Chain A
């Protein structure tokens, strides 16, 4: 049970960054007690991270900004930033976990115990203490950052988008671990209400202006989120099912956090039209497109990166008018395959055959790396795009960009959408290779990405899209490839891959929405 005295209490907090015309966040109050878990949800750029920095005491002490209101803390704060690449500061896994504990003067024996515990269970399970942090994939770096923060045993642990680069299995595992293992208070910042809602006792929802919409128990907050699609927040599959049932006049106990067993029990009596509607909502899949000409063919491609073999004998063909998903666990070789498919890396063995005149655009996990011009207008021209074409694509991603503005003057979230908009615009034949484009995108961004991909598909372009969101891949892609330890472990249409993930014949976590559809008898086993 939550203790009576708050570990941290914020009253009417507002933050304005130097030179900003308006507050990044305003009038937010929140008290967190030991054992309590609160999720902060809101659209991109609404000030979630800013509020977390204020709670942690970083604003104005470490980050310049005007803080109004009061923040009272009664204990240490562990904080994992959104930018996990810059979060890690030590050279070894054990050094990273020990870093904060050393700084706090903990007994050396206790630090060893904390390291052993952090590596024995939880997000970093599977890492070796002496592994070099530089050799870890982004997903594993995120796992390590989480483990290091949880090992601190701080009164308040703040995790800013802690699952953005985790595969579904690791994300679920991390959430489950946090649910059971954090004695202090936990503050989770997420785009995905589906991940946070089941874990959090309360949800704080911010609007686009950074003002609080509500602070309420998860079930109640989900009702508000469901009524505000403009916020772009993704509902948990069970909440989507409950909404669908409601629309069909079915009573659902538990509101938008229904009891799964009761749903399964009731499912047998649902009429066919309701079952079909639910299936379309939870597990829609796309019929494969008619195969066009090959854009890129990889023949038995292998690649070494450093000391490990990133790809091993991978063969595939990406065709015109086809959107192909690429799934797999952290460190499976997805980014390496993207680089080879885009023609950016030469494979060590095997070969890549590209269609004559093909232009390949890749958007990496760090979107800033695709820009090499002094303004968006010049960047568009460099890519052979007329500004009106670029602007139309930007608009589809909800951006009205100034062609004279430097790309780096945009936030990281905006940069991602600009990079995607540029990569998916322009004349064909074109191959867009997108490495985790869904990370950090809200529902609006996901819908825009899906629409742009399908528009490109209709225009005869091709796409290879990496994502840990298998539900989204199944809905968007013609087929899905699954990589495991550098090898192509499975390939098939979205529904077939989801079924294989569910029955364990593909090395992939079962996608949550598809798994719910299966549990409700809407999907039959393969």
Chain B
């Protein structure tokens, strides 16, 4: 199963696929890559199709938007990949979708803390940096939640739900942004204090808890990704 593999193996495999998708410009090659990744997610990782479709929505919107530009505004400046407007649009859309699928395959099968540990213990990145980034990742949903609460908690009259565009724009006033900024600053300071008081520093080497050793199957995953990339490159 892909989920059990080393986080760095999954990072490398998805990186190879994203890079390849960004280089090939033939629909069959992109279709092959897309189908293989999709099959891996649906059959091997048993991810529900509806769930994958939801997670792919941003890429679908991006693909639609980009292909629309190539379709309606056929311009030599845009046709770097060659071919007609419709053909270019299809390639660009497919490329975005395949890159999205490869990224999704990595995100769906890898926990952020497993990746952080692998980057620290195997890739030898400094623990302070990795843990700092992890803490920052924690703040993003908290910041989004703060903004949502700020917007929701304005005094409201009657049973309206406050979803009007005007209210949303008003909620982006400098004063509201200042509250968000101050909150983020307070959180960051407190988290930095918390981490340092809990011993995060350059002096003591951290223990290698939950260290994952690189196994043959991890190499196999990377090799499979390279093989798929090679086949796609041949087709492309």
How many Å lie between the Cα of A81 and that of B187 in the bound state?
12
Contact of A108 among B155, B205, B208 (CB under 8 A): B208
Q: Is A399 an interface residue (CB 8 A)?
A: no
Q: Is B141 an interface residue (CB 8 A)?
A: yes
How many Å lie between the Cα of A377 and that of B96 in the bound state?
51
Cβ contacts under 8 Å, A396 to chain B: none
Residue of B with least CB distance to A344: B152
| A50-77 to B contact mask, C-beta < 8 Å, 1/0 | 0000001010001100000000000011
Q: Is A88 an interface residue (CB 8 A)?
A: yes
Cβ contacts under 8 Å, B193 to chain A: 58, 62-63, 81
Contact indicator A56/B197 (Cβ below 8 Å) = yes
Assess A372 versus B186: contact at CB under 8 Å? Given A102-B207, A103-B199, A359-B155: no
Cβ contacts under 8 Å, A354 to chain B: 158-159
Contact of A339 among B152, B157, B204 (CB under 8 A): B152
Cβ contacts under 8 Å, A101 to chain B: 207, 209
How many Å lie between the Cα of A111 and that of B199 in the bound state?
15
Cβ contacts under 8 Å, A360 to chain B: 155-156
Assess A92 versus B111: contact at CB under 8 Å? Given A62-B193, A62-B197: yes
From 122 to 150 in chain A, residues with beta carbon under 8 angstroms from any chain B beta carbon are 130, 133-134
Q: Is A524 an interface residue (CB 8 A)?
A: no
Count B-side interface residues using an 8 Å CB cutoff.
Answer: 58
Q: Is B234 an interface residue (CB 8 A)?
A: no
| Stretch of B40-48, B74-82, B176-184, B219-227 that contacts chain A | B176-184
| B198-236 to A contact mask, C-beta < 8 Å, 1/0 | 111100111111110000000000000000000000000
Cβ contacts under 8 Å, B171 to chain A: 372
How many Å lie between the Cα of A6 and that of B175 in the bound state?
49
Tell me the smallest distance from the CB of B179 to a CB of chain A, in Å.
6
Q: Is B165 an interface residue (CB 8 A)?
A: no
Assess A85 versus B135: contact at CB under 8 Å? Given A91-B112, A372-B173: no
Tell me the smallest distance from the CB of A360 to a CB of chain B, in Å.
6
Contact indicator B198/A108 (Cβ below 8 Å) = no
How many Å lie between the Cα of A76 and that of B127 in the bound state?
20
Assess A408 versus B178: contact at CB under 8 Å? Given A91-B137, A343-B156, A361-B155: yes
Contact indicator A345/B194 (Cβ below 8 Å) = no
Tell me the smallest distance from the CB of B148 to a CB of chain A, in Å.
9
Residue of A with least CB distance to B142: A85
| Stretch of A28-36, A268-276, A362-370, A486-494 that contacts chain B | A362-370
A-B contact pairs, 21 of them (CB 8 A): A62-B192, A77-B197, A83-B190, A85-B187, A86-B189, A86-B194, A89-B135, A89-B195, A91-B112, A103-B200, A105-B204, A106-B207, A107-B207, A344-B149, A345-B152, A352-B159, A353-B159, A359-B156, A359-B157, A369-B150, A369-B179
Binding site for B on A (CB under 8 A): 56, 58, 62-63, 76-79, 81, 83, 85-92, 95, 98-108, 111-112, 130, 133-134, 152, 339, 342-346, 352-354, 356-362, 364, 366, 368-374, 382-384, 408
Binding site for A on B (CB under 8 A): 111-113, 116, 127, 131, 134-135, 137-138, 141-142, 146, 149-150, 152-162, 171, 173, 175-176, 178-179, 182-183, 186-201, 204-211
Report, nearest first, the 3 A-B pairs whose CB atoms are least far apart: A86-B190, A103-B199, A344-B152
